[in-house]
Amino acid sequence: MTPLKKVGVSCRHLSLSYGPVQVLKDIDLDIQPGEFFALLGPSGSGKSTLLRAIAGFNRHQGGQLLIDGRDVGGVPPHQRNVGMVFQNYALWPHMTVWDNVAFGLVERKVSRAEIKRRVQEVLEMVGLAQYAKRRPSMLSGGQQQRVALARTVVVEPQVLLLDEPLSNLDKNLRVQMREELKSLQRRLGITTIFVTHDQEEAMTTADRMAVLDKGVLQQVGTATTLFDFPANTFVAGFVGTANLLAGRIVSVNGDTLRFEAGGLGELAFPSGAMAPRVGDAAMAFRPHQVVIQPGSATVDATRVWVDGQVESSEFLGEFARYRVRVGNVAMLADQTHFSGHPLFAPGAVVKLGIEPNQVRFLAS
């Protein structure tokens, strides 16, 4: 395919309402040229609305939407030079794979020779050249998704939009297809924005992601940034799994921060450079950052240790996840599984060791 110009997409104080309901609230966002970018959030967060606004299917009422520096607020969808792959693929059932892929080029009155060249090239790119004469009903879900991608890419859009592209596939095929998606995007260099509620899908595929909740942009960054340094309790709980303990920072004196967790009591941590001020806060840390030991074990002083009792466990293959009651608080602790190592039984008295430099204090 012809090398495509890489373009950026920007939102400037973008707002959008359906009647009295404000769905997008003052969105400020910059997506870099050639970037693979994810919009991540729960149902009703506004991520699909934002994607459709970029496509031109939803009209924003406030702010600006820029593609390659050009304000496209008043530009109809077919003039924006963006391509969109819908969740249900939206293939023509009566057409062959070849005709489905060629459809957009025919509508654009591209010459027959050019259509033949571009369709053949893109079908080979997605590994479907041998299925050109089949109809969608004769293809698997993964193959149908490739057809939808090929049909969109063949018209050479400046921006590729993907709305929950893998949600209709089983788990193993989703893993395969997200790898193929990323490989295709890298080959084309096309700015790609995809919507998902699946954090694993976003974290393994996107260069960066934006987390939305209730129409508000919560945080933008790489997967590691959002996982390691969440901006607030929503991001901490949505990107990965987190222990979130509400409480209060009682004092920060010298090298020591004292945090009083509701129902747990006061804990002391190294203050660190990232510690917030005294006041209401939430303490966040990941289950895999907690060591679980028998209640009788001798423990080291490098961690903050609390006593607890196992309430339940889940064996997840690579690790076991324990729910442990500590005072009035339930904590999650992950333990890597090795053959021959028995699980802690419900009711077992244990010690939990929290790694101090992995704890994040988030302002309430």
Q: Would the pLDDT of 132 be above 70?
A: yes
Q: How much is the pLDDT for 4?
A: 67
Full set of structural domains in the chain with CATH:
9-234 (3.40.50.300), 242-363 (2.40.50.100)
Which of 128-142, 157-171, 300-314 has the lowest average pLDDT? 157-171
Residues 216, 42: contact at Cβ < 8 Å? no
Q: Encode burial over 204-217: b for 16+ CB neighbours within 10 A, e otherwise.
A: ebbbbbbbbbebbb
Tokens of 123: 């079908």
Nearby residues of 50 by Cβ (< 8 Å), 6 or more positions away:
11, 14, 16, 24, 27, 39, 212
Q: Encode burial over 22-41: b for 16+ CB neighbours within 10 A, e otherwise.
A: bbbbebebebeebbbbbbbb
Most confident region among 3-12, 86-95, 312-321 by mean pLDDT: 312-321
Of 274 and 90, the structure prediction assigns the larger pLDDT to 90
Q: Would the pLDDT of 273 be above 60?
A: no
| Residues 93-119: tens digit of each pLDDT | 999 999 999 998 998 999 999 999 999
Of 201 and 193, the structure prediction assigns the larger pLDDT to 193
Terminus-to-terminus CA distance in the chain, angstroms? 51
pLDDT band, residue 218 (cuts 50/70/90):
very high
* DSSP H or E stretch at residue 205: helix 199-205
| Residues 156-196: tens digit of each pLDDT | 899 999 988 777 677 777 787 788 888 888 888 899 999 99
Percent of the chain with pLDDT over 70: 98
Q: How much is the pLDDT for 140?
A: 87
Q: How much is the pLDDT for 2?
A: 59
The Cα–Cα gap between 181 and 202 comes to 12
| Residues 51-87: tens digit of each pLDDT | 999 999 999 999 999 999 999 998 999 899 999 988 7
